[in-house]
Amino acid sequence: MRRNQRQHAILEIYQLALAAFLFVSPWLFAFAHGTLRIDTWISAAVVVGVSAVALIAFREWEEWIACALGLWIAVSPWVLGFQHTAAMFINLAVGILIAYLALLQLWLIHYGSPAESPTYKNGNSVRWEHILSQMLS
């Protein structure tokens, strides 16, 4: 499960950018309630920390933590009782995106990209052809 450190670093950078946006969103969108504002700041700071560590020394568990944080960010407005606010939409969108990027990273670790899989002489991917044959049978 080792990978080239720069291979999927852009996904970590996207997570950092989303977390930075989430961190400043209470100021940009004037979150009214202190609890949600503090939760947003703490969650964003933890995502920044996990993503920064993953850029330096990648480990699979960092992506699982980022996925869990993304899901928490997405559901926190309901858990904390702040539905139907601008903060809800921001947290929902950013949380889902962070979780998606973490899951994409995990998928790429375990299944690789099509460019990394071996190919037949005709250029078709062995892995994709195998997956498709399993799905159709």
30 or 107: which leads in pLDDT? 107
Tokens of 128: 């994709």
pTM, two decimal places: 0.75
pLDDT, one tens digit per residue, over 37-94 is 899 899 999 999 998 888 888 778 888 999 999 999 999 989 988 878 888 899 999 9
**Would residue 111 count as lying in a domain?**
yes
Beta carbons of 9 and 55 less than 8 angstroms apart: yes
Number of structural domains, the chain? 1
Domain that residue 80 falls in: 9-136
Q: How confident is the model at residue 135 (pLDDT cuts 50, 70, 90)?
A: low
What is the model's pLDDT at position 95?
96
Distance CA 60, CA 45 (A): 20
Could you tell me which residues come within 8 angstroms of residue 100 by beta carbon, excluding any fewer than 6 positions away?
70
**Would residue 1 count as lying in a domain?**
no
**Would residue 2 count as lying in a domain?**
no
**Would residue 113 count as lying in a domain?**
yes
